[in-house]
A and B are shown apart, each in its own frame.
Chain A
Amino acid sequence: AQSVAQPEDQVNVAEGNPLTVKCTYSVSGNPYLFWYVQYPNRGLQFLLKYITGDNLVKGSYGFEAEFNKSQTSFHLKKPSALVSDSALYFCAVRDRAGYALNFGKGTSLLVTP
């Protein structure tokens, strides 16, 4: 069975500082990995995905994520946080044989001015 863990319920960072939102996964074989963001009263918006190839994936709004196979991690990063990045972030995994997308519990990011 596939699963995702987001070990931090909340991450606080000052505007302008780098941010990291952690994600580890468990799946048979090679995974497809995704990050989504949810702003208040909105649906989930796709940020980026890892399929294959380069371990550093770049996505929307200046976000990037690093795939680490040995540590089974897919941490979301941004070099300089903005107050407008404050939102709920979800990591998700899908194995290559199926369709089901398993989500983590979400990490609330708060960027303070």
Chain B
Amino acid sequence: EAQVTQNPRYLITVTGKKLTVTCSQNMNHEYMSWYRQDPGLGLRQIYYSMNVEVTDKGDVPEGYKVSRKEKRNFPLILESPSPNQTSLYFCASGGTMNTEAFFGQGTRLTVV
């Protein structure tokens, strides 16, 4: 079964404490991306990766890092989280040109 797996699903953390949200896909997709979803703003792309070791900024990259050391994994790193990064985060796999993206279940992050 095609899957995009994110962990954790829910996370409450304190300002400044580094965290990583993992994302893994089993579809052998080259393209992966991270979005954040905020009420009234829809989904906005944070970072994307065209392939292993190839990453680039999306629309809202400030405060985030990513890495792509393996094709299947694309972790999102918040080195010093702040309250304005409280959001619902989605990892997506695939979705280039005329193909649809597959989304993970989401990670609800609260930074206090």
Contacts and interface: CB of A to CB of B under 8 A. Distances in A.
Interface stretch (A14-22, A42-50, A64-72, A77-85): A42-50
A78 to B, nearest CB: 19
Q: Taking chain A's interface residues, is the majority helix, strand, or loop, or is none over half, making it mixed? A: loop
A46 B102 contact: yes
Interface string B1-36: 000100000000000000000000000000101010
A83 B97 CA distance: 33
Contacts, number: 52
Most buried by A among B33, B43, B95, B106: B43
A85 B2 CA distance: 23
A100 interface: yes
A58 interface: no
A49 B101 CA distance: 11
Contact of B95 (A43, A96, A101, A105): A101
Contacts of A63: none
